[in-house]
Amino acid sequence: MTTLKRNLVCANNFSNYLVGGNLCNAFVMGTLGASDDFFIVAHPAQTEDVYPLITGNFLDSEGNVLLRMVRNELVFNPRNCSKIYGNHIGFGIHDGQGNHILTVSTTWETQTDGTEAYVTRVLGTFYDAKHNIVAIAKEDGSEGCLTLDGIKSAFGHNGDGFGIVHMMDEEEILIAKLMLNTGGKAYETLSGKHVDETVDLDGKILLDVELIRCRISFSSGEFILLRNISMVDCHFSPSGPAASIYELLYEVIVKPDVPPEASSEKLAMKFAKRVKKVRKSVVLTP
């Protein structure tokens, strides 16, 4: 068990998080990118917007997912959790029985280093999928502490790395950086073999993944192709802004080189081959 108190990590001069008495511009905890386990990502505030942005999964004491939050929005809420607003910037989250899950509250105040800025307090008791309490962020009067029990975490993000890293390997640090750098728009990892499934790419970080005969949808284009990605005999179904880009690629790459009488299957095959050829000359960076 690890206790963190009164740490000052990569704090800036306009908006920071105070998590269990530790001041930092951003932090991550938990199994980042998991769909069924606890994690929380507190994104750095921008100079023009001090509103805190939280992304994560929150579980109850039985290891069940209570909710998934993406950039403060409840995108998955199987237990009828409530988002409650108070007098300060921020919110509280309670489950369907009224039990406290999370408090996020921002005020203008003097920070621990003596400067004045917006300070966002993040408080809660957090469980993992194995029913364990893995983190407690609390305040007792003016004193706060963060207790970590076997949980991966990092605090203070400078764009390239973290000020404090606890139990995270290189790949987990990379995923944490990607999640923070996208502001939480990419928040769930996708890996392994998937056959005959419907896969929504929006919000995903793809790594070491094989998709076979899958129906692949995407709309916002907010996803990351990280490494070792294979797609075989998949059907793509873009919508929204992504559909416009898809149509543009078709018009520029495929249509000029395919006779009008070609079947839809031949068009799709031609599209895939031309895109693969173009991608050989393109370097994708996170």
Q: What is the pLDDT of residue 258?
A: 55
100-125 pLDDT per residue, tens: 999 999 999 888 778 888 999 999 99
**CA–CA separation, 275 and 266 (whole Å):** 14
Listed residue (266, 261, 212, 252) closest to 235, CA to CA: 212
Tracing tokens 């750095």 back to the chain, one arrives at 44
**Residue 284 Cα distances to 43, 102, 227, 241, 281, angstroms:** 24, 37, 10, 20, 10
Residue 140's pLDDT is 67
DSSP reduced 3-state for 253: helix
Q: pLDDT per residue over 167-197, tens digit each?
A: 999 999 999 999 999 999 999 999 999 999 9
Closest CA to 58 of 45, 84, 85, 76: 76
**Sheet containing 198-200: which strands, arranged edge to edge?**
198-200, 215-218, 235-238
Question: Which sequence spans correspond to the domains of the chain?
Answer: 2-181, 188-279
Which residue do the tokens 């392994």 mark? 192
Q: Once rounded to an integer, what is the mean pLDDT over residues 116-138?
A: 94
* Cα 149 to Cα 133: distance, rounded to the nearest angstrom: 7
Task: Look at residue 139 and give its three-state secondary structure.
Answer: strand
